[in-house]
Amino acid sequence: MERDVTDGGREDATHKTPPAVWWRLIALGVLLGGGLLLWLLFGWPTQQDISSALENSGLWTPVVFAAGHVVATLLMLPKNILSIAAGLMFGMPGGALLVWASAMAGAGTAFWIGRYLGRDGVERFTGRHLRRLDQLVERHGVLSVLVVRLIPVISFSTVNYGCGVTAVRFPAYLLATAVGIVPGTVTYVVLGAYGTQLAPWQLILAVGALVALCVAGLLVARTRRHKPVDP
């Protein structure tokens, strides 16, 4: 009888949403909400102001931005604010291309760092997320990489390092990443590029779409955790 209670407790604990997921959702909500509040209160810098600043800074600005984005990826830092900033600084499509290329460079570098560190090294800072990634790759192969790229609630950097110690091959990993990060990249860059030109209801609608996508990702993650794992 005691064994049944213990097993049930473990099952309930397994089905609970990981705190990291909630913290990511909270952080995203605070980031988007804070940005919306600042825009409503003070407004954003105009495109002319940003263009003047970029002209004075020279051609090194995109290089510095790309390097900072790669470093943020390797340090597993949130990068959504960088995508919004790229929209403000470089507009469309330049900002989207720069963010996409920077993300690809960071993802490729982290993949090989993960492979160099090995499973034990990667698991130290990814924990149980690596085991879940293993299960997804085992069931769905490289398609799982594409899926987790499309779901913003999944840590981008965790997938980068984790795939380095899975059976996913590097070319397939790069292809899935290249396709999967496009929707999120374009959305955030567009928000930065055209946020100053949007009416409040349009901006709220865009933010709501991002939040809805995150919630959808959370529901998918919960559904997968409820499915039995193959022995």
- Compute the CA torsion angle 136, 208, 98, 147 (nearest 10 deg): 10
Closest CA to 84 of 74, 72, 96: 96
pLDDT in tens, 192-215: 877 666 666 666 666 666 666 666
pLDDT in tens, 18-55: 555 566 566 666 766 766 676 666 565 555 666 666 66
**161 and 134 in contact (C-beta within 8 Å)?**
no
Q: What pLDDT, on a 0 to 100 scale, did the predictor assign at position 230?
A: 46
pTM of the model: 0.67
Please list, residue by residue across 106-126, b when 16 or more beta carbons sit within 10 angstroms of its beta carbon and e when fewer do: bbbebbeebbebebebbbeeb
Q: What pLDDT, on a 0 to 100 scale, did the predictor assign at position 67?
A: 92
**What average pLDDT does this structure show over 91-96?**
87
**104 and 178 in contact (C-beta within 8 Å)?**
yes
SS3 labels along 75-111:
CCCCCHHHHHHHHHHHCCCHHHHHHHHHHHHHHHHHH
